[in-house]
Amino acid sequence: MKTKIAIIGAGPAGLALANALLRRGIGDFLVLEREAEAGGLCRSQIVDGAPLDTGGGHFLDVRRPAVTAFAFDFLPEAEWNRFDRDSRISIHGRLIGSPFEANIWQLDEAHQRRYLADIAAAGCNTGAPMPEKFVDWIYWKLGRGIAEDYMLPYNRKMFGDDLNVLGTYWLEKLPNVSYEDTLRSCEERRPHAVQPGHASFHYPKAFGFGELWRRMGEALGPRLLLGTPARTLDVASRTVNGEIEAGLVVNTAPWPAFERIDGLSPESLAAIASLRHTAVDIDYVPEDPDTPAQWIYQPDPALPEHRWLVRRNFLPGSRGYWRETRRERNPPLRPGAFRATNDWAYPLNTVGKNEAMAALLAEASAHGVLGLGRWGEWQHYNSDLVVERALALAERISRG
C-alpha cells in the first residue's frame, strides 16, 4: 500500500498534524495508532461517575493562542472552564503554594529562617560556578534545605533514585525565584514569582481532557487506523510494517518501542538504545482532600505517589482524587480499586540525550523520516507545545 504521509501514533502530535494537513488540503495520509482509541497520554475515561485523565492530570495551558484556537475548533470555548492555577506542596504537615521558594512564608518561622539562610549560602548566590551534575546543581541553585526537603526527594520519586543520570540542560524549565524574591515573600507574606507553566489553563466542563483528542481522531475518519501498531520501520525505504510505503514518515511513537528499525547507522541505533523513560500509574481514590488546590505535590519519600489531582477543583460536581506514581514505587493494586497504567510517561532528560537525538533525527530526516512530539523528539513537551510543533510541521509539509 502506498501513501504520501504515514503518521505513527495518534496522540496529540499525530492528531494535530493530521488535522492540520487536512485543513491545508492534504488528505493522502494514514495515521497508525496502536491502541483502540486516539489521544495517547491525554485520554480520559469515566471513573466513579466522572471523567478521569488516565495519563495523569492534564490541563490546556493558555499560553499559545494559536493552539487554543485550534483546540476550540474541535471542542468550542463554551465547553471549557478556565482556571487560575492553585497547586500546593505538602510539606512539614502543611500545604504551601508552589513554587516552593516563593511560598516558604507559609511555613513556621524556624523553617523560613533555615531555608532563607541556605538560599543565601547557595552557590548561585555566592558566585560558585554552575555545576554539571543534577544533584550538585539543585544544591547550587536552591541551597541545602530546599534541596533535601523538597527538590531531591520529589525528583527521585518522579524520575528515579540516581538523579545524576539526568542532565542539567532542562532545568531552566524550573521557576527562577531569586533570593531577594524569597526574602520579600517572607517579609510581605505573599509570593513573589512567576509561574513557569499552567498559570492559567482550560479544562473541559463536562468531559475529561481526552474529549478534545477523541474529537480530533473522529475528524480523521478512515485515515485513522486504530488498533494498528507500527511494529517495524525501514527508514531507508520509508516502509512501515513491511507494507505501507510512504513518501514521508512522521514518527510520534517512542523510538525504542519498535520491534525492528532498519536502514539506520549503528550510531543511531545506539542512540535509540540509550533513551530512557519512566512508566506512571494513575490510581483513583474515592475521597475528597480538604483543599481548594487543583493538584498537590507530594515530596514525602514515605508516600509512593508524587502528585495528587483533586478532581472537584477543576471538574465541578465531581469527587475523589487520583494519584500519579512512578511504576516501580507503586504497591500492588488493591482488589476493586481503579488503576490506569502508562508504560511511556516521561522521556528522561539524561546526560547526552540531546546530542543522541539530534544525530538520530538528522540521519532519519535525510531519508524522509521525521520525529515529532514527546517521544518522536524525546522531550518533556506538554500537549500545547506538541500541537504548536505539529501545526508548524504541517505548514512546512504543505510548502513542500
Ligand X SMILES: Cc1cc2nc3c(=O)[nH]c(=O)nc-3n(C[C@H](O)[C@H](O)[C@H](O)COP(=O)(O)OP(=O)(O)OC[C@H]3O[C@@H](n4cnc5c(N)ncnc54)[C@H](O)[C@@H]3O)c2cc1C
Chain contacts with ligand X (rule: CB under 6 A): 8-14, 32-35, 40-42, 55-59, 229-230, 252-253, 257, 280, 324, 344-346, 373-375, 381-384, 386
> Around Cβ 93, how many Cβ atoms within 10 Å?
7
Task: Give residue number: closest CB to ligand X.
Answer: 11
The total number of residues written for the chain in this structure: 400
Nearer to ligand X, 182 or 342 (CB): 342
Exposure letters 310-331 (e unless 16+ CB within 10 A, then b)? bbbbbbeebebbbbbbbeebbe
Q: Which of 275, 206, 272, 208 is nearest to 41 (CA)?
A: 208
Nearer to ligand X, 66 or 128 (CB): 66
d(CA 322, CA 93): 20
d(CA 170, CA 151): 15
Nearer to ligand X, 97 or 145 (CB): 97
Closest contact distance (angstroms) between CB of 361 and ligand X is: 14
Beta strand 277-285 with 244-251 is unpaired
d(CA 142, CA 137): 8
Nearer to ligand X, 243 or 290 (CB): 243
Closest contact distance (angstroms) between CB of 206 and ligand X is: 19
Strand ranges across the sheet with 295-297? 94-97, 87-91, 295-297, 307-310, 321-326, 277-285, 339-347
Closest contact distance (angstroms) between CB of 326 and ligand X is: 10
Copy the grid coordinates of residue 20: 492540520
Closest contact distance (angstroms) between CB of 45 and ligand X is: 14
Nearer to ligand X, 68 or 125 (CB): 68
Nearer to ligand X, 15 or 119 (CB): 15
Closest contact distance (angstroms) between CB of 12 and ligand X is: 4
Closest contact distance (angstroms) between CB of 268 and ligand X is: 18
Nearer to ligand X, 18 or 142 (CB): 18
Copy the grid coordinates of residue 343: 508504560
CB 326 within 8 A of CB 280: yes
Closest contact distance (angstroms) between CB of 205 and ligand X is: 17
